[in-house]
Amino acid sequence: MSTLPRRRVTRLVVPLIAASLLAACGGEDPAPSGGASASQPAEKVTLTVALFSDFHYAPLYEEFKKTHPNVTITERRSQFNDHHNNLVTQLATGAGAADVVAIEGGFIATFQQVPDKFYNLADYGLTSRQSEYLDWKWQLGLAADGKTLLGLGTDVGGLAMCYRPDLFKKAGLPTNRDEVSALWPTWDAYVETGKKFVAGGVKDAAFTDGPGEHFRAMVEQAPVGFYDASNNLVVATNPDVKKAFDMGVSMIQNKLSGKLTAFTPEWTTGIAKGTFATMVCPAWKTGVIKDQKPGEGTWDIAAVPGGGGNQGGTHLMAPKQGKHPKEAAELINFLTSKESQLTLWKDASALPSLPALYEDPAVSTYVNPYFGDAPIGKIFTDAAKALKPQHTGPKSGDVLLAMGNGLSRVELQNQAPEEAWAQAVADAEKIK
């Protein structure tokens, strides 16, 4: 999951790390200790799991320890950007990495380039899981060579749009989720709805949090994003990237934005206090909303403009610095199992990456009372099924940062949009 924030983050901060990671010496693989179902050794084992938010794993750790009584699990959490940047440093220096690490989808291409830094989970029997997964999710867990199995997927970030019915009512807009969904079949229609919200004169509330997450969602809905299938940077020539940037500019110019960055203290306070009325909402973000305790029924869920999509979602990997790869592989296998993914769906709204679960009534017919009995099972599985996977280039996070900085300059520094676009493109092209 990406309690991101998927994702899950308006401005990803990914250093230019390819050279440092590739230059750092990779250790030799220890001999595999057998498949993930092998009997447990008698010695005491401590596994450290590094995450970028609360994945709601604590009950699952206790279940795992029932069959692995010799294993102690410790968990450490860092802020989203720090977590991924720290891992870059840890892999480059050869020290400090956890036994199991979570990698969010926006960063995964970075680590696919350095398979020598991770254990190959195929050596521990986990290729047997391939048939369970959405094909594109499985492929993301492979190294750039298409052979080494670096990680298993946890969740996917099927997209929706979360909104506050109370603020919509004050603006004179519909509040029923079906009627709200009908307001914005396209992103242009979403902006037009925002203009009506602004005209409604709602006090102390913006139409949305900020343009960054919307820009990312729109780019990731396109057939091609920042890179083509040959890893050529196409930001300057891809009209869908420019269209998404222009949409973000339109949100700013029409005063729809609350000028907030996702996952900052001001943003989380805004969720609870109602300082903005809509936000791009992958499945896992509904758990973030609930954690802020805005009150049952305060937020509801409608369809995302543009027809489905994905934002965020995570893989679990085992860096070679870990001394217990067999146990790490077994824990990864357990945390991503069908049973665990179903538990996390119920507990944290983490949409499973195993499509067989989409037909399970516990997922497909689930309604969430915290969101006005929204049928989130149908909403998010429909979005996931509609997704057409997009190729992610090796430095997509850096490029996203450059684009997000461009929008920030328009919003916070009054830079002319065309100047901001030109600078963002130039900054992205330096990343190549």
Residue 104 has pLDDT above 70, yes or no: yes
The pLDDT value given to residue 291:
87
Is the pLDDT at 376 greater than 80? The verdict is yes
Question: Can you tell me the mean pLDDT for 106-119?
Answer: 92
pLDDT band at 170 (very low <50, low <70, confident <90, very high): very high
341 pLDDT more than 50: yes
Look at 67-76, 291-300, 395-404, 405-414 and tell me which has the smallest mean pLDDT.
Answer: 395-404
Question: What is the pLDDT, as a whole number, of residue 42?
Answer: 67
The confidence score (pLDDT) of residue 37 equals: 47
* 329/363 Cα distance (integer angstroms): 27
Question: Is 24 a residue whose pLDDT tops 50?
Answer: no
Output the pLDDT for position 41.
52
CATH code assigned to 43-156+313-359: 3.40.190.10
Tell me what pLDDT residue 205 has: 98
Query: From CA 258, how far away is CA 77, in angstroms rounded?
Result: 28
Banded model confidence at residue 39, pLDDT cuts 50, 70, 90: low
Helix or strand holding residue 281 (H, E): strand 276-282
Location of each CATH 3.40.190.10 domain in the chain: 43-156+313-359, 158-310+382-430
Mean pLDDT of the chain: 89
pLDDT band for position 382 (50/70/90)?
Answer: confident
Residue 300: how many CA atoms within 13 Å on its side-chain side? 20
Q: What is the pLDDT of residues 212-224, one digit of tens each?
A: 999 999 999 999 9
> Average pLDDT, stretch 415-432?
95
Q: What pTM was computed for the model?
A: 0.81
- Residue 83 · residue 55 · CB < 8 Å: no
pLDDT at position 307 is: 81
More confident residue, 146 or 62: 62
Q: What pLDDT is attached to residue 150?
A: 98
Amino acid letter, residue 323:
K
Of the spans 98-112, 183-197, 368-382, which averages the highest pLDDT? Answer: 183-197
Return d(Cα 145, Cα 27) in angstroms, integer: 18
Find the mean pLDDT for residues 61-90.
94
pLDDT of residue 228: 94
Question: Who's near 329: CB < 8 A, 6+ residues apart?
Answer: 36, 119, 121, 124, 125, 126, 318
pLDDT reading at 8 higher than 70: no
> Who contacts 296 (Cβ-Cβ below 8 Å, separation ≥6)?
369, 370
Q: Which pLDDT value is given to residue 5?
A: 37
In DSSP terms, 142 is beta-bridged to 149
Which tens digits make up the pLDDT trace of 176-195? 999 999 999 999 999 999 99
Interaxial angle between packed helices 338-348 and 58-67, expressed in degrees from 0 to 180 and rounded to the nearest 10: 150
Q: What per-residue confidence (pLDDT) applies to 212?
A: 94
| CATH class of domain segment(s) 158-310+382-430 | alpha beta
Q: What is the model's pLDDT at position 32? A: 44
Amino acid at 373: D
Mean pLDDT of 402-414: 95
pLDDT at 253 over 70: yes
Decide if pLDDT at 48 tops 60: yes
Nearest CA to 309 out of 158, 200, 417, 102 is that of 158
- CB burial readout 296-312, b (16+ within 10 A) else e: eebbbbbbbbbebbbbb
The string of DSSP letters for 17-31 reads -HHHHHHSPPPPPPP
Sign, Cα dihedral of 232, 235, 239, 244: positive
Residue 412 CA: distances (Å) to CA of 250, 268, 274, 359, 392: 14, 20, 22, 46, 29
Q: Give the per-residue pLDDT at 381.
A: 86
| pLDDT (0 to 100) of residue 386 | 72
Using one digit for the tens of pLDDT, what is the confidence trace for 290-327?
989 999 999 999 999 998 788 889 999 999 999 999 99
Reference 302, options 270, 275, 325, 280; nearest CA is 280
DSSP class of 372: T
pLDDT at residue 34 tops 90: no
* Top-confidence residue, 6 or 279: 279
Residue with tokens 């480059």: 92
Judged against a pLDDT cut of 70, whether residue 69 lies above it is answered with yes
